[in-house]
Amino acid sequence: MLVSGTGSILQALMDACADPGYGARIVAVGADRTGTGGVARAEAAGIPTFVRRLKDSPERFAWDRMLTSECAAFEPDLVIMAGFLKLVGADFLRQFDGRIVNTHPALLPSFPGLHSVRDALRHGVKVTGCSVILVDAGVDSGPILAQESVPVLDTDDEATLHERIKVAERTLVVDTVGRMVRDGWSVQERRARIGASAGRARW
């Protein structure tokens, strides 16, 4: 798993993985910065961690290459980005093609990018939510695996709305990743399917 922040979604997945019936195990947690809550949570649980900062690499492609080999060393079946705030590059996408999952605090394709909660509030939407997607070379543009809606309240600011989205997001990520690992998934053009209707399972 890759994180940049507090890691509450990581924690939800760690809790789910404690049940063998869930079907997944977190093999490592990586971050793009030091001092993240996500890495602290993983260390406390005895999960291997690593930090790979962009500013420590001379070029972005060198950072991407290092991140790729650090992740690949753990031989993950899936790479889950849970609040990971960097775009990965060509090496990473090639290595984990079709197996990178990201969670985003908006109903994509509306409000991609880093400030999606603020952008949704400013736009004045009455319903927003979260999306679990497969990562492609674009910004939050990959096939959508699952979505959940969240109402925007008149009293909301960015913090309260994001917190309410994250409650829905934790459940959605745990449910989606669990179904993927247990039942497989497929993608046809832009349409991702999980489970019995997925046809040829990826898992």
Partner residues linked to 16 by β-bridges: none
Pairing mode, strands 29-31 and 49-51: parallel
Smaller CB distance to ligand GAR: residue 172 or 198?
Answer: 172
Whether cis (ω within 30° of 0) applies to the bond prior to 151 is: no
Is 5 one of the binding residues for ligand GAR (CB under 6 A)?
yes
* Interface with ligand GAR, residue 82, by CB under 6 A: yes
β-partners of residue 146 are: 132
Return d(Cα 73, Cα 194) in angstroms, integer: 27
- Asked if residue 169 binds ligand GAR (CB under 6 A), the reply is yes
CB of 80 to ligand GAR, least distance (A): 11
CA distance 181 to 77: 9
When binding is defined by CB under 6 A, the residue of 14, 47, 79, 105 that contacts ligand GAR is 105
The nearer residue to ligand GAR, 101 or 198, going by C-beta atoms, is 101
Joined tokens for residue 39: 């890495």
* Catalytic status, residue 123: no
Give the catalytic positions in this structure: 104
Instruction: Summarize as ranges the residues that interact with ligand GAR (CB under 6 A).
Output: 5-10, 82-83, 85, 103-105, 114, 166, 169
